[in-house]
Structures are given as structure tokens and as C-alpha cells.
């Protein structure tokens, strides 16, 4: 194994520990064998996860840089309905190309308070010269990667990674993402229902789930942790976390129940779907809901275009405008007309047609990297066809292509190679809660770094050096 000086420097920019891990695998050829990492298995999800065997280590300086980026973009995204639209359903309808009645339905019962308690994951690329840039932002009840604390524990128990920790003893300072979320849920319930007399019952609704049974080790862990956190906050607090499907819940007298137990908080893992009979309890103020139909607005990729289009707008403070310029790449909704590109005014559609080498085309609502066109990887005729379609539909966005940083990772049955990476950074209610990476070999020539497009996933250990 012969590591280039360029790759050593790239890993050293992450942390000294990251470079030390690279030197560790260089001295131990058995670390190249994929068979040494059989402990990295995660069957408890409908999406198959392929783990990249080598983790990443970042120092406190880079952790702060990541946290600042994640929190700033989170704060910008959550203000969009108020600052840009003033909660005006007609204005939202015109921009998102969604019928006004649908917008009114999505926003019914939603208050400003809900936007202070969002859970988000920004997908960022990073380079030492340009810092972090947010390519898209996801706010939903079933965020990919929320199992991060479990994944971290798997890496700590797995062959070569376990051996590295035993020999080098890096000081890990990761927070527990799940614990942060559960504490926020409980505090929100106490804030909303302060008069006592209620059990702090929280339901996580999962598709096709058995009645109240914690099936997987992950679910059992969450149920157990919820009980411990509840008691640690106040020994007099009663309640439980219940995992079930909608058909196990009932509404009586405008309140939601699970087997006679009143439910104060419902977290849906249905990509925004909530039955109307449960939404009624939410709209009447008798139930806290995360996140429900408003998911369809908060996960819309056009939100990044909105921020980019408003980088000079007085709707945002000078500090917020600086954050937009720093963290949001140039992005526009596919609507014909003039716009700004850097220091010049351009006619958007001809500009996009003529500059595919530096642009990406994305649909506003699809997930998993589907239908994304990377300009420099797309034949000119195909690019023109897709652009014409996008400008007719007006629900797509074009975005500046930001080249991801490259790092060295295990590859194949017994090798290694350079990979491009995307950082998935979590923020819950304004609190930075951790990061994971998706990695893809530079040899794949896909350009789209997404788990559903064949990218691997690895964890990020935050270390004190």
C-alpha cells in the first residue's frame, strides 16, 4: 500500500487521528480485506445500507466548522415560510407550483412554534478552500441516518477499527443523536402541556409495524432510552415511547389514544402522511405532531433555490445574507427570465443550456438521486432535452456543481482507492447532533453520491486532540 502525499494531507486536514488511522491500515495489510468487516451489517431498514469499512475522524476545529454550517443553514431553511412568504398560501402555491388548496391543507394547524422544533439533515460537500456548501436540505420524520449512534457502536466493535482504538485510544466526543432528539420531544411536551396530569406518551408511527412491539434492537434501544431520559429529567414523570402503525391508534373526544393511553406527541415515519382523523386532533391543539403534511414543503429542494435567489434580499439580516453566500451554492428555479450569476445578469435558460459543464439539474421532490443530471457527465443533446422539459414544468432547479473532496477508503475485496464524499449533518431544534458520510469511488463515474445510487456509508468520529 502506497499512500500519496496528497491523500495524507487530505486526511490530516480532517484530523491528526484520521492520518494516524490511514498510517495504521498502511502498516496492517489485513485491514484492506473486506472480509474483516463482517460486523458492519444493518438489516433494520427498508433501504439496503452498504457500509464503507473505514471510518472518518474529525478534530474539534472541523467539528465546529461543520456545526456552524449545519446550524446556519437549518436556521435559514426554517424561516422560509415566514420570512419569504409570510405564511401566504397563494404566494407559496405560485413558487412551489402546488395548488393553493393543497398548500392550505399542508399548513392547516401549523404554527410558528413548529418551525422552532424541526429535525433536519443537510447534505454538504466540503473542501479546504471553499468550506462547506449545502447541496440540499432534508426535514422529515424518517431522516436517513438517524440510526447514527448505533452505527458508531458497530464500528467500535469491528475488527480493524476496534484494533485501532485499542492501540491508539483516541478521545471520542460524539453526542448521542437519538438522546438529543428524545430530550427535545419531552421538553416540547412539557412546554405544550405544562399543567401536569398527563403521561408523556410518545408514539413513533412506522409502516406495517406490529402492535406496540419493539421488533429490532434499534427500536428496543429507543424505547429503553426514552424511559431512562424521562426518569433522569424528573422522577415524577410517567410515560412511554410506543412504536406502532396508525391502525393501532384511536381518537376519542378530539384526543389521540393508544390502548386507552393518551398520546401527547406523534412522530410519523411515513414521509409526511398522517390520516385526517389524527390531523384533526393536531389542529385543535390536543396533539404535538412531527412532522406531517408540512414535510412536502420542508423537504422541497426548491428551498435551496429560494435562499440563493434571496442572497441580497432585505428580508434577511446582513448576517443571514452572509451565511447564504457562504453555505449555499448558486441555485435557481427553472423559470425563464433574467437572473444574477455571480457579478453578471444572465438570461437563465440560454445560460443553462450553454454551461452544462458547471451545472447540475435536479427535480424538486424526488429522492435517492433519481433524475439528477450532472452536466459534465450528460451528452449535450440529452442535456438540452432535459433542460427544455425542466423549464416547461418549472418544478426543477439548476445548481452550481461543487466538486467534492476526495479521501482514501477501502475498496473491493482487498484494496483501497480515492472516494468522493458527501457530508450528512444533523441539526435538531438548532442543536448540532452529528455527521455521517456517503462515499463513492472516483472510478464509478456516476457523480451522484447517494445510497440508492450505490454509495457506501461511513461514520464520523469526533475526536479531541
- 230-278 pLDDT, tens per residue? 999 988 899 999 999 999 999 999 999 999 999 999 999 998 999 999 9
Answer yes or no: do 22 and 131 share one domain. Answer: yes
Dihedral angle sign, alpha carbons of residues 238, 241, 244, 250: positive
Answer yes or no: do 396 and 410 share one domain. Answer: no
CA–CA separation, 250 and 257 (whole Å): 5
440 within 8 A of 50, measured Cβ to Cβ: no
Answer yes or no: do 344 and 371 share one domain. Answer: yes
Residue with cell 444533523: 426
Answer yes or no: do 415 and 446 share one domain. Answer: yes
Report the candidate in 423, 461, 416 with the shortest Cα–Cα distance to residue 442.
416
Answer yes or no: do 449 and 343 share one domain. Answer: no
Q: How far is CA 253 from CA 203, 256, 274, 326, 334, in A?
A: 19, 8, 18, 50, 47
Answer yes or no: do 448 and 388 share one domain. Answer: no
**Residue at 18 is within a domain:** yes
**Residue at 341 is within a domain:** yes
Domain endpoint, select from 374, 400, 426: 400
Domain endpoint, select from 400, 418, 435: 400
131 within 8 A of 423, measured Cβ to Cβ: no
pLDDT for the residue numbered 46 = 64
The model's pTM is 0.94
The total number of structural domains in the chain stands at 2
DSSP codes, 23-74: HHHHH-GGGG-GGGGTT----SSSS---B-SS-EEE-HHHHHHHHHHHHHHH
Answer yes or no: do 353 and 459 share one domain. Answer: no
Give the range of the structural domain holding residue 359, as residue numbers without chain letter: 336-400
Answer yes or no: do 386 and 420 share one domain. Answer: no
**Residue at 251 is within a domain:** no
Answer yes or no: do 23 and 35 share one domain. Answer: yes
**Residue at 79 is within a domain:** no
**Helix (H/G/I), strand (E/B), else coil: 199:** coil
Domain endpoint, select from 400, 420, 440: 400
Answer yes or no: do 342 and 396 share one domain. Answer: yes
**Residue at 275 is within a domain:** no
Q: Over its length of 465 residues, how does the chain's per-residue pLDDT go in tens digits?
A: 889 999 999 999 999 999 999 999 999 999 999 999 988 988 776 677 899 999 999 999 999 999 999 999 999 999 999 999 999 999 999 999 999 999 999 999 998 888 988 999 999 999 878 899 999 999 998 888 989 999 999 999 998 999 999 999 999 999 999 999 999 999 999 999 987 678 999 999 988 887 777 778 888 999 999 999 999 998 889 999 999 999 999 999 999 999 999 999 999 999 899 999 999 999 999 999 999 999 999 999 999 999 999 999 999 999 999 999 999 999 999 999 999 998 899 999 999 999 999 999 999 987 666 789 999 999 999 999 999 999 999 999 999 999 989 999 999 999 999 999 999 999 999 999 999 999 999 988 677 887 767 789 999 999 999
Altogether, the residues listed in the chain come to a count of 465
Q: Quick: pLDDT tens for 372-395.
A: 999 999 999 999 999 999 999 999
Amino acid at each position: 500500500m502506497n499512500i500519496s502525499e496528497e491523500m495524507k494531507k487530505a486526511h490530516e486536514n480532517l484530523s491528526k487521528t484520521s492520518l494516524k488511522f490511514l498510517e495504521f491500515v498502511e502498516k496492517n495489510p489485513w485491514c484492506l480485506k473486506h472480509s474483516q468487516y463482517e460486523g458492519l451489517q444493518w438489516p433494520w431498514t427498508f433501504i439496503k445500507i452498504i457500509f464503507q469499512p473505514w471510518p472518518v475522524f474529525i478534530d474539534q476545529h472541523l467539528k465546529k466548522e461543520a456545526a456552524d454550517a449545519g446550524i446556519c443553514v437549518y436556521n435559514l431553511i426554517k424561516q422560509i415560510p415566514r420570512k419569504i412568504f409570510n405564511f401566504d398560501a397563494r404566494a407559496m402555491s405560485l413558487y412551489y407550483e402546488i395548488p393553493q388548496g393543497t398548500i392550505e391543507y399542508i399548513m392547516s394547524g401549523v404554527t410558528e412554534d413548529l418551525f422552532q422544533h424541526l429535525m433536519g439533515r443537510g447534505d454538504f460537500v466540503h473542501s479546504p478552500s471553499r468550506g462547506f456548501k449545502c447541496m440540499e436540505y432534508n426535514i422529515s420524520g424518517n431522516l436517513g441516518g438517524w440510526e447514527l449512534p448505533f452505527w458508531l457502536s458497530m464500528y467500535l466493535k469491528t475488527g480493524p477499527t476496534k484494533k485501532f482504538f485499542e492501540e491508539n485510544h483516541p478521545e471520542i466526543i460524539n453526542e448521542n443523536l437519538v438522546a438529543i432528539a428524545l430530550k427535545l420531544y419531552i421538553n416540547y411536551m412539557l412546554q405544550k402541556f405544562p399543567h401536569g396530569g398527563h403521561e408523556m406518551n410518545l408514539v413513533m408511527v412506522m409502516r406495517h409495524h406490529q402492535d406496540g412491539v419493539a421488533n429490532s434492537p434499534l427500536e428496543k434501544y429507543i424505547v429503553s432510552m426514552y424511559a431512562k431520559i424521562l426518569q433522569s429529567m424528573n422522577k415524577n414523570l410517567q410515560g412511554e415511547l410506543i412504536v406502532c402503525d396508525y391502525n393501532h391508534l384511536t381518537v376519542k373526544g378530539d384526543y389521540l389514544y393508544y390502548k386507552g393511553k393518551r398520546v401527547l406527541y406523534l412522530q410519523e415515519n411515513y414521509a409526511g402522511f398522517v390520516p385526517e382523523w389524527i390531523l384533526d386532533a393536531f389542529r385543535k391543539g390536543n396533539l404535538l405532531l412531527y412532522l406531517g403534511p408540512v414535510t412536502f414543503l420542508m423537504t422541497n429542494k426548491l428551498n435551496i433555490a429560494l435562499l440563493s435567489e434571496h442572497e441580497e434580499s432585505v428580508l434577511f439580516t446582513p448576517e443571514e445574507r452572509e451565511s447564504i453566500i457562504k453555505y449555499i451554492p448558486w441555485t435557481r428555479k427553472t423559470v425563464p427570465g433574467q437572473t444574477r450569476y455571480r457579478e453578471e445578469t444572465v438570461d437563465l435558460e440560454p445560460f443553462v443550456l450553454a454551461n452544462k459543464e458547471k451545472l447540475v439539474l435536479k427535480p424538486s421532490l424526488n429522492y435517492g438521486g433519481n433524475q439528477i443530471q450532472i452536466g459534465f457527465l450528460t451528452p449535450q443533446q440529452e442535456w438540452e432535452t432535459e433542460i427544455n422539459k425542466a423549464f416547461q414544468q418549472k418544478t426543477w432547479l439548476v445548481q452550481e456543481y461543487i466538486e467534492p473532496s476526495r479521501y482514501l477508503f477501502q475498496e473491493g475485496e482487498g484494496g483501497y482507492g480515492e472516494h468522493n464524499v458527501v457530508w450528512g449533518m444533523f441539526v435538531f431544534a438548532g442543536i448540532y447532533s452529528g455527521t455521517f458520510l456517503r462515499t463513492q469511488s472516483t472510478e464509478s463515474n456516476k457523480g451522484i453520491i447517494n445510497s440508492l445510487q450505490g454509495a457506501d456509508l461511513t461514520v464520523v468520529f469526533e475526536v479531541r486532540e
